[in-house]
């Protein structure tokens, strides 16, 4: 399996040169935070990802998880790596400082998260959901629940899960049937079964804190009658330590296509004791705090897999000798040339690179606005939150679609060897496939983007996002590149505004193509901006690479946007067209 190497040079360029994090942190009055600290955090994260987590990836896939006497056992080394992760404070990066978190900016944490996903997606999943659980508890829980559970969740001493899905209730949570019965002591008895629960049980920590959606008696029908509950695996004793086992059990663990080292559990709650988070019947809005964070994090999973695949494919293409390059011998003294000199292989590698590095730029721009939404003034917070909300479905869906495309290309570069397990490329493709499904399928993300984020507020989030990308265009110094980027951005904005008047059925039919059109357009602006900034860099190799990638993206990848734009205007067949004759 290719040895993972973190893309530190690209992170340095994006943070220091493209985003200018020194200025960014100064504007947010983040005392003690600067580009030098960001570089230290990212470099340390790279070392942990490369040296500790990555070596567990392929063995973990081979061994997988097992259920032994009702308890989940994860592959050898996984729990030890987690203990090292917690001991070094990585779990606390984004945690609130009042609960012993570090309160780091997202622009420091997101690169670390990407590297962990590249190194070992299965391992990263449990820590990801714990961070999301921290957000939900911190924002919506009572002070008692916060004081009792947040310090252990923030530190990583305990982990958290998200329990939404039931056999009959996936995307449509109105069908959810898990029950919550009030008890005299203020707690609730939770009864029901949940499926597809990541990290529902494991051997990493002394307790697991489940976030569970359930219905109270006489609750309104549909999603308006859902409440959120905190249900620990072990109830706490008088000293706040894990005591008696709660009525929570693992029914089974799923046997999956990929992420085999991540325990995906069927969870059974049999009058389990839980506590209400937030108000009664407001559980979905509370859970969305967790889900929206998780959706962006899932997008980063797609990006992480893409980087690992590109890296492996490039190394292989530079070493694999096969035939002569059509433009003339590249290595005259060798029996054949490396396949990297074959134009079609170069096409695949540049497709991987331009998509991966473009999505990385967009992820860090997203992180910048997460920083502002968290640390900025009230006005700036509101505007950046609008940008984050608009871009969340784009990042989740496009990054994961791109992850599958790039991992497939990675296999193709390897040829027959890519199909063989020992090379590790097929695992990346198997692992990343789930990212298009969980936390809301990518079709749901597209519907969310065009129906809620675009139309519901009559383009307010759109216009705020347009202004952010317009600032990138304005800063481009090369007149030709600026004019080209301006045309792409204006066309996207004009198309988006036209969607506001589309009938709802047409809007839903255009959703997937609109999201893809949006992503390609915004990535094109990012690439034009990056290439312009890189042109002034002292790192000539990086400058050349960014220029070549920007040119490739805008000439070979961006035309896909026009195809999606054309498809948006085409009527979909009615469902009856696919119905068998009766």
Q: Supply the residues annotated as catalytic.
A: 439
Q: Please answer whether residues 159 and 205 qualify as being in contact, where contact means their C-beta atoms are separated by less than 8 angstroms.
A: yes
How far apart (Å, rounded) are the C-alpha atoms in residues 522 and 362?
8
Which pairing describes strands 226-232 and 208-215: parallel, antiparallel, or unpaired? antiparallel
What would the two tokens of residue 127 be? 């820590």
3-state secondary structure of 478: coil
- Dihedral sign computed on CA atoms, order 272, 278, 283, 288: negative
State the virtual CA torsion across 401, 403, 404, 407 in degrees, nearest 10: 160
Strand 234-236 with 242-245, pairing: antiparallel
Can you say how many angstroms the Cα of residue 416 is from the centroid of all Cα atoms in its chain?
30
Asked if 546 and 531 touch (Cβ cutoff 8 Å), the reply is yes
CA dihedral 104, 284, 280, 159 (to 10 degrees): -50
State the Cα–Cα distance between residues 180 and 59, nearest whole angstrom. 41
Is the separation of the CB atoms in 295 and 393 below 8 Å?
yes
Rounded Cα–Cα distance for residues 537 and 488 (Å): 25
- The whole-angstrom separation of Cα 459 and Cα 39 is 37
Question: How remote is the C-alpha of 75 from its chain's centroid?
Answer: 24
Burial of 489 (0-12, 13-18, 19+ CB in 10 A): buried
DSSP track, 436-476: GTTTS-HHHHHHIIIIIIIITTTTHHHHHHHHHHHHHHHT-
- Owner of token pair 């198309």: 495
Which among 316, 306, 411, 398 is positioned nearest to 352, based on CA atoms? 306
């Amino acid at each position: 399996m290719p040895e993972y190497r973190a893309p530190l040079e690209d992170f340095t360029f994006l943070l220091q040169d493209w985003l200018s994090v020194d200025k960014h942190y100064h504007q947010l009055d983040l005392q003690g935070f600067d580009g030098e600290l960001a570089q230290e955090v990212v470099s340390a994260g790279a070392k942990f990802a490369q040296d500790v987590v990555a070596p567990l990836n392929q063995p973990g896939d081979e061994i997988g998880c097992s259920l032994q006497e009702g308890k989940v056992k994860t592959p050898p080394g996984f729990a030890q790596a987690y203990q090292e992760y917690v001991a070094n404070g990585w779990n606390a990066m984004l945690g609130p400082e009042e609960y012993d978190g570090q309160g780091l900016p997202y622009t420091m944490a997101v690169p670390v998260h990407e590297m962990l996903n590249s190194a070992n997606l299965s391992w990263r999943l449990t820590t990801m959901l714990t961070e999301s659980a921290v957000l939900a508890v911190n924002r919506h829980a009572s002070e008692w629940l916060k004081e009792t559970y947040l310090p252990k969740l923030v530190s990583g001493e305990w982990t958290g899960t998200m329990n939404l899905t039931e056999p009959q209730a996936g995307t449509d949570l109105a069908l959810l049937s898990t029950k919550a019965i009030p008890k005299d002591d203020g707690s609730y008895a939770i009864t029901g079964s949940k499926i597809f629960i990541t990290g529902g049980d494991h051997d990493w920590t002394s307790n697991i804190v489940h976030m569970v959606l359930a219905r109270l008696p006489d609750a309104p029908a549909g999603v308006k009658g859902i409440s959120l509950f905190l249900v620990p695996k072990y109830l706490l004793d008088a000293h706040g330590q894990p005591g008696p086992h709660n009525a929570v059990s693992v029914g089974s663990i799923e046997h999956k296509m990929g992420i085999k080292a991540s325990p995906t559990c069927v969870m059974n709650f049999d009058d389990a004791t839980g506590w209400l988070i937030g108000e009664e019947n407001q559980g979905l809005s509370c859970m969305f705090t967790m889900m929206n964070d998780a959706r962006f994090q899932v997008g980063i999973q797609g990006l992480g897999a893409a980087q690992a695949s590109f890296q492996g494919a490039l190394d292989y293409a530079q070493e694999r000798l096969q035939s002569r390059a059509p433009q003339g011998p590249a290595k005259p003294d060798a029996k054949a040339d490396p396949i990297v000199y074959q134009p079609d292989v170069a096409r695949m590698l540049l497709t991987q690179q331009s998509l991966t590095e473009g999505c990385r730029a967009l992820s860090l721009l997203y992180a910048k606005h997460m920083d502002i939404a968290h640390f900025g003034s009230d006005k700036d917070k509101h505007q950046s939150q609008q940008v984050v909300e608009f871009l969340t479905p784009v990042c989740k869906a496009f990054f994961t679609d791109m992850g599958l495309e790039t991992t497939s290309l990675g296999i193709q570069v390897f040829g027959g060897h890519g199909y063989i397990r020992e090379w590790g490329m097929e695992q990346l493709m198997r692992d990343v496939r789930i990212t298009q499904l969980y936390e809301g399928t990518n079709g749901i993300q597209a519907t969310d983007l065009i129906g809620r984020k675009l139309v519901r507020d009559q383009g307010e989030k759109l216009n705020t996002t347009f202004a952010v990308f317009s600032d990138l265009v304005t800063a481009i110094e090369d007149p030709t590149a600026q004019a080209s980027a301006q045309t792409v951005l204006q066309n996207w904005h004009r198309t988006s505004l036209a969607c506001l008047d589309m009938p709802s059925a047409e809007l839903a039919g255009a959703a997937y193509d609109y999201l893809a059109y949006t992503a390609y357009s915004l990535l094109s602006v990012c690439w034009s901006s990056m290439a312009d900034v890189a042109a002034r860099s002292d790192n000539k190799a990086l400058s050349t690479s960014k220029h070549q990638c920007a040119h490739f993206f805008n000439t070979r990848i961006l035309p896909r946007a026009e195809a999606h734009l054309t498809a948006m205007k085409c009527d979909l067949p009615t469902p009856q067209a696919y119905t068998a004759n009766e």
